[in-house]
Amino acid sequence: MQIPFSDDVILDSRRAVILPKQDTVVVSDLFLGLGAARRKRPDMLPEGQHHDMWERLLGLIADYQPKRIALLGDVKPNQGTVEDDEAEELRTFFRKLQGGKREVIQVVGHPERSWGPALEDTGVQPVDSYRIGMHTLMHRRRIFVYPRHDPPQGHWINGGLHPLFAVPTPGPAGQEEYLRYPSFLFTGFALVMPPFVSYAQGWEVMQPERLPRQARAWKVLGDHQMSSLDLTALPPAPEPLRALARTVKRKTEG
């Protein structure tokens, strides 16, 4: 599903921003090469999510035939290390991304920390921002504080903070329950993206009452569906949902 954000920016329900005038697909936190490292760990990524990521990525390429793909964020957790057959998995991904001489851009918050074995022989050099048309791509954990964009007709497109909204819904016994939705969020200053991989959806629920009046949001319901959120009608999230604690990993014995 597509929702036009402006005359040169499209929101795709597969968690991508499309810049049609620049023939560019933008995704945030793609996290390639998860296979070898994750298979060894007790919190390994479910196999279905790995396949889902492939399907959505290849579907976006097939549908839009972009000349450029912009990756916001690292291509894998701990980008500087590669384990076992991860190297081949990464090369396979990049061959798909770069097919037909397609350009691949990587934008990260700290380029000096992001170079490592994961990017060797890919031809990709991380940058801290990337100007494309009237817009600027970035990957920073900020939601309100942005420099004035030049030109003013353009926007910051940020992949570093993943909007998550708690939406009330009737429970089975009629009680009010909340569902959390990854979302696209426009703050009036920047267009903030959901992550491409669903398991990285975020831990901080947005508080509508703290957003600027001009803010708009679109919740992602699935690969083929999303809808706008009426932020003025959205109640404050319950206190337990405002900041969700990450699960603490237990050390294995032995």
Q: What is the pLDDT of residue 12?
A: 96
pTM, to two decimals:
0.84
pLDDT tens digits, 88-111: 777 777 888 888 889 989 898 776
pLDDT at residue 252 in the model: 43
Q: How far apart are CA 100 and CA 208, in angstroms?
A: 43
Can you give the pLDDT at residue 243?
A: 62
Q: How far is CA 115 from the centre of its chain?
A: 20
Question: Up-side HSE of residue 152: CA atoms within 13 Å toward CB?
Answer: 0
pLDDT of residue 221: 86
Contacting residues for 204 by C-beta, under 8 A, at least 6 apart: 164, 242, 243, 244
pLDDT string in tens for the chain (254-residue length): 999 999 999 999 999 999 999 999 999 988 765 544 555 554 555 555 566 777 888 899 999 999 999 999 877 665 566 776 777 777 777 888 888 889 989 898 776 666 666 676 667 778 889 999 999 999 988 777 788 888 888 899 999 888 888 888 887 777 778 888 899 999 988 999 998 887 666 656 888 888 888 899 999 987 788 999 999 888 888 777 776 544 444 444 43
At 245 the pLDDT is: 45
Domain ranges of the chain: 2-242
pLDDT of residue 240: 75
The answer to whether the beta carbons of residues 9 and 155 sit under 8 Å apart is yes
